[in-house]
Amino acid sequence: MPHVHHYFDEAHLSYGLDVVVIGGKNSAVEAALQLFRAGARVTIVYRGATWPKSVKYWLRPDLENRIKAGEIQARLGSQVTQITPRDVVVRGALGNEERIPASRVYPLIGFHPDFELFKRMGIAFDPDSGRPKINPETLETSVPGIHVAGSVTAGTKISEIFIENGRFDGEKIFGSAAERLQAQNLYQGIRRETGE
């Protein structure tokens, strides 16, 4: 349905609206907080009984305090059973059913790269982890000339990649600025010598 978004886009589109976020990890928690701060009426629905340990230490107290203050509604231990154009149907921990109004719904319950793209390009990858087979030095895949960078290198374990480590992938693929300059000078030297 057009009001259901598996990627978090823009919080301000939800100003003044009832929004349901499904999930309890960092993506869902961060989205719920941003949506609340952009003026949405947010309910976060999570099947776990408590927020998972992996929730960032600076997000957890923010979320818990917003819930305590009644600014964000939370349904823990709850399963989504249906999404309709107007609401999200949730089965609570005690088996009770509730309809939560929702003009926008964000199921943020996990993500993996597009493995079909790997298949179409003939890139070998481990079927269990989804990791492409790569040369760790150059990040070149099993298809010569095709390199991968960032979270796609980690298959389904995308949380292993952060901006802090993924940003160095460019240098592995293209070399450092100094190496690129050296290669460019070498290339220009060859062009001068050969007159091409």
**What is the binding site for ligand FAD (CB under 6 A)?**
26-27, 30, 114, 117, 150-151, 161-164, 166
**Residue with smaller CB distance to ligand FAD, 87 or 156:** 156
Q: Compute the least distance from the CB of residue 45 to ligand FAD, in Å.
A: 17
- How far does the chain reach from its first CA to its final CA, in angstroms? 57
Q: Compute the least distance from the CB of residue 95 to ligand FAD, in Å.
A: 31
**Residue with smaller CB distance to ligand FAD, 26 or 73:** 26
SS3 72: strand
In contact, 112 and 27? CB cutoff 8 Å: no
Q: Compute the least distance from the CB of residue 69 to ligand FAD, in Å.
A: 23
| Dihedral pair phi/psi, residue 124, rounded to 5° | -70, 135
**Residue with smaller CB distance to ligand FAD, 78 or 151:** 151
**Residue with smaller CB distance to ligand FAD, 32 or 45:** 32
Find the DSSP H helices in the chain: 26-37, 60-68, 115-121, 163-166, 169-174, 177-194
Q: Compute the least distance from the CB of residue 166 to ligand FAD, in Å.
A: 5
